[in-house]
Chains A and B, each alone.
Chain A
């Protein structure tokens, strides 16, 4: 079936989640999702000499973990879909170098996890591939290095800033098997409401989340109440407040079933300002907390709307505004 709104895809062939794996860094392992993590890092350098290598190793570990969790072998996987935040998505491609399987590198900044799931589900539904591994990670220290200041610089963070998650997750999708099923997905449009503040990603991405949520609800003919959880990726505290306002103006009321992965991942007392962010944020929360709740039946229908800010240090230094994107996937517990 060709999508009617050119964004939403309905899957009839049940792309099924047969395995998942998540890793949280030391700070994430102290947070509310701690109990659901597959693995907790003690050392955020993973015995490597640079943070870039640590992020790569993190991804390798996550991918192996998910394949193992699905009870599969590496050569059962047809294709690896993955991305990260580093320039030229080096963590993913360098991790893929190790595996020797087909690799499709993706980039939607922090929306990469949902992008990979939406694309993976499409590839399975249209019978292009039968087993797909979707993996995304990020690392606080490598992201700080690339986007902001040296770690040891004694600067103050603005109150609207967010904390890049050290961690990530991988999901194995299969044409057959038991597990939660991806029933629909909406690929997002790039939306820019003219925000230029690099320290306020939530405000940059909220309009994109609004756009994708509205498109998805319309495209699938569902209402907010039909979902047990609607989770945005990393809008953070301010961004999710903005999203609630924006949607309310459009006549859509988000209720108790709305959460943001950036708000779920850290304890309130941690000094993470507006909450978690980074491509690992939604990947970690999805593959730990959300997956756990889908498997034990607390959640029957979840809409993950991962959000990404598509800037680079060059574009923001040149004074460009920051475009956002959001991709949505609907995951349902199989009957």
Chain B
């Protein structure tokens, strides 16, 4: 038996043996955690609108996002967020909490390698692609907007 065929068979055999992630509990946990984060965001929005009636909707949104980013960074620093993320999965990744955690965690981790080569370089090691896609996407959107 040639090795390519052997490897193909082995990969098929291993795939069949892989433990399956249980879909329903994962989705339920993600829904619960993600939903709670969004409820908290909505609570912030409503409270800020009540406290500062002069703020525009966009400004309220920014204040709410800053609050959530700030809290995520604090929770990451205290070592709580990795636990929450392991439990909630996509429920914590999809809201802006995932982005904030992905910036803070490598910054903490690589502090010992120095401010420039540690914190500043590694800070974007996980979120780098998100920023690249964001920038490229907005350029593309801008071009389309210009044409039509």
Point out residues on A near B: beta carbons under 8 Å.
Answer: 49-50, 145, 149-160, 192-195, 200, 203, 207, 238, 241-242, 245, 321
Contact = CB atoms under 8 A, between A and B. Distances in A.
Q: Which of A155, A157, A195, A200 has the most CB of B within 10 A?
A: A155
A140 to B, nearest CB: 13
Contacts of A160: 18-19
B17 A238 contact: yes
Contacts of A151: 82, 105, 109
A195 B86 contact: no
A50 B108 CA distance: 12
B86 A155 contact: yes
Given A49-B112, A193-B6, A154 B14 contact: no
Which 8 pairs from chain A and chain B are nearest by CB?
A: A154-B85, A194-B7, A150-B109, A150-B105, A152-B105, A153-B105, A193-B10, A203-B14
A310 B45 CA distance: 51
Contacts of B92: 154
A102 to B, nearest CB: 31
A239 to B, nearest CB: 10
Contacts of A207: 10
Given A50-B112, A193-B6, A194-B11, A154 B82 contact: yes
A159 B21 contact: yes
Contact of B14 (A145, A192, A195): A195
B73 to A, nearest CB: 10
Nearest to B107: A150
Given A193-B10, A194-B7, A194-B10, A241 B81 contact: no
B41 interface: no
16 contacts: A145-B109, A150-B109, A152-B77, A153-B106, A154-B84, A154-B85, A154-B101, A155-B85, A156-B89, A159-B19, A192-B7, A193-B11, A194-B3, A194-B4, A194-B10, A203-B14
A150 B106 contact: yes
**Chain A binding surface SS class:** loop
B10 A153 contact: no
Contacts of B76: 152, 154
Given A159-B21, A241-B17, A152 B10 contact: no
**Chain B binding surface SS class:** helix
Contacts of A200: 14, 18
Nearest to B98: A154
- Sort chain B's interface into a size bin: 35 or more
Contacts of A194: 3-4, 7-8, 10-11
B6 to A, nearest CB: 7
B126 interface: yes
Interface string B2-43: 011011101101100111110000000000000000000000
Contacts of B79: 152
Contact of A152 (B6, B81, B112): B81
Contacts of B101: 152-154
Nearest to A321: B7
A292 to B, nearest CB: 32
A245 B20 CA distance: 19
Q: Which of B10, B13, B112, B126 has the most CB of A within 10 A?
A: B10
B104 interface: yes
Given A193-B10, A321-B7, 13 more contacts: A151-B105, A152-B81, A152-B108, A154-B92, A155-B93, A156-B89, A159-B18, A159-B20, A160-B18, A194-B11, A195-B10, A238-B19, A241-B17
B126 A149 contact: yes
B102 interface: yes
A156 B91 CA distance: 11
